[in-house]
Structure 1
Amino acid sequence: MTIDNEEVMVKMYDNPTSKDFLTLLPLSLKFEDYAGTEKISNLPKRLSTEDAPAGSKLSVGDFTYYSPWGNLAIFYRDFGFANRLIKLGKIESGIEKLASIKGTVTIEKMN
């Protein structure tokens, strides 16, 4: 991801929802703050929930998909268990930039 011209590295997990997300890249998405805990953005289509867990316990840096709303959610504060939230990956570098996301973020796949 690119936030304010700086790279943020996300390690994607090997699951059907993550693989479906990767087919959408590259993306430019507008993010907004939600509940003082996460940044959210709508995706252009709903992702696969095949083999998805009932929910996930969340922590700082989790890169997730909230299936009821069909949106991307990136956590910059720890959060408890959330139903129907699927972990797509984890931020490996640049976590400190998450809380300050404003406006458009570019997400691209690295080779």
Structure 2
Amino acid sequence: MKILTAVCVMALLVIASAAWADAPKRVKFTWSGGEAVAELNGSPSAESLWAMLPVTVDFKDFNGVERIAYTEKELSAEGAPESCTPDAGTLALYAPWGNLSVFYKPFRESRGLVPLGRFVEGADKVSTLGEAVRIERME
């Protein structure tokens, strides 16, 4: 009976671990204006962002539709699509310049824009991203 119980517990742990591994990775953005949570899409580019976390970056407005920031380490654009049409709430990498892009308004299809994920909480606040934004894993 003890062996059967141990086997059942082990099986449940394996199933729970597999479900956790398949769950989307989430990252939290924290700044003086609030918090927001983005869900990464599992691409090699998103994985390269995940690998460098935590980081603190400064965001600035760009083109009246997005906030951009540069990380110290360059993100991978390996296997990335040639373009992306971002909606409000899109988290992306602009590969030609190497910057993170957080869209607070929809924008046209853009070559070199690599989607990393979407904001699932606080998307209405990302237009206020500013200096000293902490980006960290949610585990």
Is the TM value for this pair above 0.5? yes
5+ long unaligned stretches in structure 1: none
Counterpart in 1 of 2:120?
Answer: 92
Counterpart in 2 of 1:12?
Answer: 40
Counterpart in 1 of 2:101?
Answer: 73
Q: Equivalent pairs: percent with the same residue? A: 32
1:50 aligns with 2:107: no
Counterpart in 1 of 2:65?
Answer: 37
Q: How many equivalent pairs are there?
A: 111
- Contact 1:3 1:97 (C-alpha < 8 Å) held by counterparts: no
Q: Give how far 1:98 is off.
A: 1.1
TM-score, reference length from structure 2: 0.76
Q: Supply the RMSD in Å over aligned alpha carbons.
A: 1.1
Is the strand fraction higher in 1 or 2?
1
TM-score, reference length from structure 1: 0.95
- Contact 1:28 1:104 (C-alpha < 8 Å) held by counterparts: yes
5+ long unaligned stretches in structure 2: 1-28
Higher relative contact order (CA 8 A, sep 6+): 1
Counterpart in 2 of 1:103?
Answer: 131
**Alpha-carbon distance in structure 2 between the residues aligned to 1:49 and 1:65:** 8
Is the helix fraction higher in 1 or 2?
2
**Alpha-carbon distance in structure 1 between the residues aligned to 2:71 and 2:126:** 18
